[in-house]
Amino acid sequence: MLLMLKIFIIFSLFFSISASLAFAEEPSEGWERLANMPEPRSESNAIAYNNEIYVVGGLNNKELADNSMFVYDINENEWAIGTSMPTAIHHAGAAIYKEKLYVVGGYYDKWIPSNELWIYDITLDKWFRGENMPTPRGALTAEFLDGKLYAVGGFNKDTRFENEVYDPLIDSWEKRANMPTPREHLGSTILDDQMYIIGGRDDQVNLDTTEVYDYSSDSWKSLEPVPTARSGLAAATLNGVIFVFGGEGYANTFAENEAYIPGDGWFEQQPMPIPRHGLDAVTINDNIYLVGGGISPGASYSPIIEKYHNTVIPEFGVFVLIIFATSVTIIILFTKSKIINYN
């Protein structure tokens, strides 16, 4: 019996160490390069709908605002040309709600900020004009919460903290609580009906600031900073975990892929194969798709789309510790029992 127990303990320790090393070295199944976009883009907007990705606007390889729409079919790994947006724009915010794609703000050519709101009805294949956003700005982010479109951050002179909300039912905007940290070129995603704002820059300084917005109380809360300060990044949520990809600094683009689990903090994940900024990230099924972006800092572009699949999250380490603790407890109890029986 004692021999069998020793074998179990040794096996448990071996499994614990091996599993821990496996997680540290290979935290995910990794990356897959997919069919290129028809044309290079950066600072465009990608939106997921069913098994398709709609990519709208952005900077083209002539450093001009574009109004093209490309549609990617994830099952066929093929691109098609969609219906162009009426206005050429880049650095806009975008989100989807009830089969309608909303594109707000951004820049016209010559970096003139926009306050336009364009709505694309996927079922009708038509664009419609919405009520103008109160504050013109580019390099903002946009997300839907409780059926309303929140446009947050962005740059227009000293405006980098705005939080304005659009109600599609009445085609009107209202002011909401300002974001605590002014910034542009920020990342955002939704988890558990809250909006997470990550990174960005203010006055050309990259930020590691992470804040979460609760629409029900119209309030903000600061969270643990993202490990890598960066702007021009992309964020997406997969299986209850927030992933943050890429970005830029003064002299380089980032390949960092960092994951955040509320209550547990940040964890380093498998880096992007091709570092870039000004990209976008969308989640479909169990994958995150990264679209476009510039390979070098500043004005640069690419047609790249990559698929990221993550199957292991950091709580796996807790499972390993439980196995180890259970093993130690068993041997202590067994040893104590043998001593009592001997006496």
pLDDT classification of 157: cutoffs 50, 70, 90: confident
Distance between CA atoms of residues 167 and 133, nearest Å: 11
For 309, list phi and psi in degrees, rounded to 5: -125, 120
For 125, list phi and psi in degrees, rounded to 5: 55, 50
Q: What is the pLDDT of residue 238?
A: 97
Distance between CA atoms of residues 226 and 259, nearest Å: 9
Residue ranges of alpha helices (H) inside 211-315 are none
Determine the average pLDDT of the residues in 41-68: 97
Distance between CA atoms of residues 247 and 277, nearest Å: 4
Distance between CA atoms of residues 147 and 173, nearest Å: 13
Q: What is the pLDDT of residue 9?
A: 41
Q: What is the pLDDT of residue 29?
A: 59
Q: Does position 214 have pLDDT exceeding 50, yes or no?
A: yes
Q: Does position 265 have pLDDT exceeding 80, yes or no?
A: yes
CATH homologous superfamily for 28-311?
Answer: Kelch-type beta propeller (2.120.10.80)
Please report the DSSP string for 41-60 in residue order. Answer: BBS-EEEEETTEEEEE--B-
Distance between CA atoms of residues 223 and 189, nearest Å: 14
Residue 332: which residues within 8 A CB-CB, separation 6 or more? none
Strand pairing class (117-121; 126-130)? antiparallel
Cα dist from 147 to 78, 82, 215, whole Å: 31, 26, 11
Domain boundaries, the chain: 28-311
Q: What is the pLDDT of residue 159?
A: 75
Residue among 180, 82, 90, 164 nearest 130 (CA):
164
DSSP 10: H
Q: Does position 25 have pLDDT exceeding 60, yes or no?
A: no
Q: Does position 278 have pLDDT exceeding 60, yes or no?
A: yes
Distance between CA atoms of residues 54 and 46, nearest Å: 5
Residue recorded with tokens 């309303």: 148
Specify which residues 96 forms β-bridges with. Answer: 101
Strand pairing class (187-191; 194-198)? antiparallel
Distance between CA atoms of residues 318 and 325, nearest Å: 10
Is 314 buried (19+), middle (13-18) or exposed (0-12) by CB count in 10 A?
middle
Residue 8: which residues within 8 A CB-CB, separation 6 or more? 327, 330
Q: How confident is the prediction for the chain on average, in pLDDT? A: 87
Q: Does position 333 have pLDDT exceeding 50, yes or no?
A: no
Distance between CA atoms of residues 67 and 148, nearest Å: 24
Q: What is the pLDDT of residue 313?
A: 52
DSSP 65: B
Residue pair 235/247 in contact by the 8 Å Cβ criterion: no
Distance between CA atoms of residues 18 and 12, nearest Å: 10
Lowest mean pLDDT across 5-19, 87-101, 278-292: 5-19
SS3 71: strand
pLDDT classification of 324: cutoffs 50, 70, 90: very low
Specify which residues 262 forms β-bridges with. Answer: none
Hey, what are 283's tokens? 């989640």
Determine the average pLDDT of the residues in 57-78: 97
For 304, list phi and psi in degrees, rounded to 5: -70, 140
Residue among 218, 223, 243 nearest 233 (CA):
243
Q: What is the pLDDT of residue 172?
A: 98
Determine the average pLDDT of the residues in 271-287: 97
Q: What is the pLDDT of residue 160?
A: 80
Determine the average pLDDT of the residues in 163-189: 97
- Around 67, how many Cα atoms within 13 Å sit in the side-chain half-sphere? 11
Is 255 buried (19+), middle (13-18) or exposed (0-12) by CB count in 10 A?
middle
Specify which residues 80 forms β-bridges with. Answer: 71
